[in-house]
Amino acid sequence: MKQLQMVEPVMAIYCFATLVSFPIIGQYIYHRMWQDEFNTTLTFNDNVSHCETNQSNPGYIHQKEVQKRASMFSTKLDLISLIPSLVVTLILVSYGDNHGRKASLLLPSIGGLITVTAYCSVSFFEWPLEVLYLSSVLSGFLGGFATFLGGCFSYIADIAKDVRKKNIRIAFIDMIFGVSSGISGITSGYIINALGFKWSFFIPAILHILNILYIIFILEETVKRSEFYQPVLSKEGIKELFSGVFLLFKHASCKKRLSISLLLFAFMFFLFANFGAINLFTLYELDSPLCWDPVLIGWGSALSTFCFIGSFLGIFLFTRCMKDSYICLIGMASWIAGIVMAAFATTTVTMMLGKVHCNKPVQFFPYGYTLL
């Protein structure tokens, strides 16, 4: 079978499978903790969740307590997954310079499959939520979202030799990310309403399986194997795996080492703040003063579709007159404005406006990796 140098389908499938699971996961954790605490099930009707808005009512206090517990649990899951994933990202992306980028795409897809399989098992068999800590650690050591994005952008950088074509194709990947985010947001609420939490996790699981098969059998590797190729699990392969990162810092100037370190820390804090905020958004939207239902939460996430299309057009223009670092700063400034607005949102309109700004910082991803 002839293989293709088309990473765009991989990006679209992975992003949809991962991002459609984020709202489902956040709401499942909240509902499961509520069920364990009060032995009752939350219901929705007329686009409004049955949440308590009277602050003097004991139900309001219980509601906020469950929200707090769910928030802490989600934050712990994000941390134990993100920290190892950043280390693995540096190793795999460096390793891919000489051995190709498919590993940076395949391992995160396997990690995503492990994650949704764990949630599916916990939901079906009523296992304790603490089981999810193990799946988060495993998916983190397989790379996670950071590794996948780094692999995609590096794949484009390897096969696109012309700088302008590379920037346009990276921006197109950027737009695919956004459109997948929007479509997954719209569908997540309807999936929960139609299938419930137990069966909702099957959809991202099936998509991850399809993506894994595409990467293995259809996607062409960027680097051809030589006759002197060393298997990764061999002694020389493991040595080479880690030596790439060591040599990256050893032979770089002091200024370059400082720049790389600052960019890595920027990625770490940005990824945690951006993707960690997704579950916090969901938990905030479920309770008062917003009291959103799954469908409205999904439509709120779907605003990113329009933002990413605008981001694609903006990047197309900015690359003609701005450096990559300035494009990153524009995306970061937009996100900061949006998160501040969302923090004080008490109405649906204000929250929607905040989410519009919060979905623009994807500009930081492709051009941050370009800087690295």
**What is the arithmetic mean of pLDDT over 212-239?**
73
Where in 10-82 does DSSP place strands (E)? 44-45, 48-49
The pTM is what?
Answer: 0.84
Radius of gyration of the chain (CA): 21
CA 282 vs. chain centroid, Å, equals 15
- Tell me the C-alpha distance between 154 and 151, whole Å: 5
**What is the arithmetic mean of pLDDT over 362-366?**
53
Q: Is 366 helix (H, G, I), strand (E, B) or coil?
A: helix
So what's the pLDDT on residue 47? 46
Of residues 157 and 331, more confidently modeled: 157
Nearest to 34 by CA among 370, 312, 287: 287
| pLDDT tens, residue by residue, 250-305 | 777 788 778 777 877 777 777 777 777 777 888 888 888 888 888 888 888 777 66
pLDDT at 232 over 60: no
Mean pLDDT comparison of 16-20, 230-234, 247-251, 314-318, highest-scoring range: 16-20
Cβ atoms 270, 364 nearer than 8 A = yes
**∠ Cα 31 300 303 (to 5°):** 150
So what's the pLDDT on residue 55? 77
So what's the pLDDT on residue 28? 94
| pLDDT tens, residue by residue, 11-58 | 999 999 999 999 999 999 999 998 888 777 766 554 445 677 777 788
Q: Which domains does the chain have, with CATH numbers?
A: 8-39+63-221+234-371 (1.20.1250.20)
| pLDDT tens, residue by residue, 60-115 | 888 889 999 999 999 899 889 988 887 888 788 777 877 788 999 999 999 999 99
So what's the pLDDT on residue 207? 97
